Amino acid sequence: MKVLAIAFKNLRRKKIRSSLTIGGVAVAVAVLVSLFGFDAGYQRGLDNDIDKLGYHLLVTAKGCPYEAATLMLKGGGGLRYMEEDIYRKIIADPRIDKITPQLVSSVYNQEGAEGRGAFSLYMGIEKSYIELKPWSKFKSGGWFSGSDVDEAIMGYEAAEVEQRSAGDKIFVAGINKVLTVTGIFERTGTQDDGILFIPLATAQRIFELPNKLTGIGIKLKDIRTIAAFEEDLFNVPGIQVVSLAQVRGTILNLVSSARAMASSVALIAIFIAVIGVTNTILMSVFERTREIGVMKALGASSVDIFKVIWTETILICVFGGAAGVLLAVLGSNLVEHIIRQALPYAPAGRLVFIKPIFLVVSFISTVVMGLVAGTYPALRASLMKPIEAIRSGE
């Protein structure tokens, strides 16, 4: 028989109360782990998305920077257009390694998303687009047969969802056009997977936007020239330049409110759990006043009593921590789903990325939390005077 056994047996005495307290701790830990996981997953996903953009800078029509950021990553949003002339001027700059013009348009499809209606994204591109993204490989088929033809290349997911293969014809509902699928890209893990690509000139024609672009992607020969390059473009009227670092910052700003919210929820959950543990143990100490007095009469020192009570708290937190860690791992899909619904922009890939270190850190913090939560009740118990404690119930 050890302190551990005494403490454990006592927790089993009030099973419901102990379970509820352990449950409270578990929820707090699960929230904490999920929050860590979300933070890591989101940043990783975002970095991955940005890496896979292939370009350092995106030149867009002047407008809201949030729109631009969304456009850069998602290819959608409320769109503004710039003149194709700007592209022709910039292209000659010797600092540019690769450059690609693009025209994005979205078409509302009433039949989309299982009849609920959805936007399909079309992006007009030129061959330079895949030069900027060397990982974009064809799963089947190939490039368009000309520069202005009614043809499309589908992103992996877009083809998957619509069950298309190369050679099929697709109907663009909003503008009554039929396009022939010439190729399907392999999965890239980015937003490109959901896009339908058409030749730039075709896009300008069918969406009735002659000589217009929504963006120009630019990769520089030397990333260190980016500041000077941006500065030069700053003087060109009607456009703005968005760099990778800015996009990353902007997106992280967008989610920072969600993160702050989640952090405060986690903090509150932990706070409530700590109070819950303290309350439970304190209650159990008061209920056992006479028992504690008897233990002292039997030779237990204050330290012995402190250890027994402290061990009970730690046990609650160890069980709660373990359950919470398990809950977070098992529930990560659900959390992922909820967060995706709530966020304005979510990068591709897993959003909640639970690293083993998060589990370890959360578990250890829970035990530390137990030490803190248990100190007051343990102190109260250890300072009880044997006579008063034993005679308290008489």
Partner 1 sequence: MKTCVIKTEKLTKVYQLPAEQIQAVRDIDLEINAGDFIAIMGPSGSGKTTLLDSLGCLGKVTSGSLKVMGKEVSQAHERTLVSMRREFISFVFQDFLLIPTLTAAENVELPLYFARKPYNREKTIEVLKKVGLGHRVNHLPKELSGGEKQRVAIARALATSPKILFADEPTGNLDTKSSQQIFDLFRKLNKDDGLTLVVTTHNPALGALAGRIIYLKDGKIVSREESSLYA
Q: Least Å distance between CB 5 and partner 1?
A: 8
Considering only the stretches 6-14, 52-60, 139-147, 172-180, report the one whose residues sit in contact with partner 1 under the rule CB under 8 A. 6-14
Q: Least Å distance between CB 300 and partner 1?
A: 4
Considering only the stretches 93-101, 251-259, 341-349, 379-387, report the one whose residues sit in contact with partner 1 under the rule CB under 8 A. 379-387
Element (H, E) at 224: none
Q: Least Å distance between CB 30 and partner 1?
A: 30
Give whichever of 152 and 308 is closer to partner 1, judged by the CB atom: 308
176 HSE (CA, 13 A, CB side) = 0
390 binds partner 1 (CB under 8 A): yes
Site residues for partner 1, window 206-265 (CB under 8 A)? none
Burial classification of residue 92, based on how many CB atoms lie within 10 Å of its CB (0-12 exposed, 13-18 middle, 19 or more buried): exposed
Considering only the stretches 37-45, 143-151, 199-207, 381-389, report the one whose residues sit in contact with partner 1 under the rule CB under 8 A. 381-389
# binding residues, partner 1 (CB under 8 A):
25
Burial classification of residue 325, based on how many CB atoms lie within 10 Å of its CB (0-12 exposed, 13-18 middle, 19 or more buried): buried
Among 187, 248, 386, 392, binds partner 1 (CB under 8 A): 386
Q: Which three-class secondary structure string do you get for 121-135?
A: EEEEECCHHHHHCCC
16 binds partner 1 (CB under 8 A): no
Give whichever of 218 and 308 is closer to partner 1, judged by the CB atom: 308
The interface mask with partner 1, positions 328-347, x = CB under 8 A, is: --------------------
DSSP-derived letter for residue 344 is S
Q: Least Å distance between CB 383 and partner 1?
A: 10
Give whichever of 177 and 290 is closer to partner 1, judged by the CB atom: 290
Q: Which three-class secondary structure string do you get for 61-116?
A: ECCCHHHHHHHHHHCCCCCCCEEHHHHHHHCCCCCEEEEEEEEEEEEEECCHHHHC
3-class state of residue 193 by DSSP: helix
7 HSE (CA, 13 A, CB side) = 21
Among 84, 149, 304, 367, binds partner 1 (CB under 8 A): 304
The length of the chain, given as a count of residues: 394
Considering only the stretches 10-18, 49-57, 59-67, 143-151, report the one whose residues sit in contact with partner 1 under the rule CB under 8 A. 10-18
Rounded CA-CA distance 324/326 in Å is: 5
Site residues for partner 1, window 284-303 (CB under 8 A)? 290-291, 294-302
95 binds partner 1 (CB under 8 A): no
User: With the C-alpha atoms ordered 315, 318, 321, 325, is the resulting torsion angle positive or negative?
Assistant: negative
Site residues for partner 1, window 190-209 (CB under 8 A)? none
Residue pair 282/380 in contact (Cβ under 8 Å)? The answer is yes
Rounded CA-CA distance 49/84 in Å is: 26
Q: Least Å distance between CB 11 and partner 1?
A: 9
Residues lying near partner 1 in the complex (CB under 8 A): 1-2, 5-6, 9-10, 12-13, 290-291, 294-302, 304, 385-387, 390-391
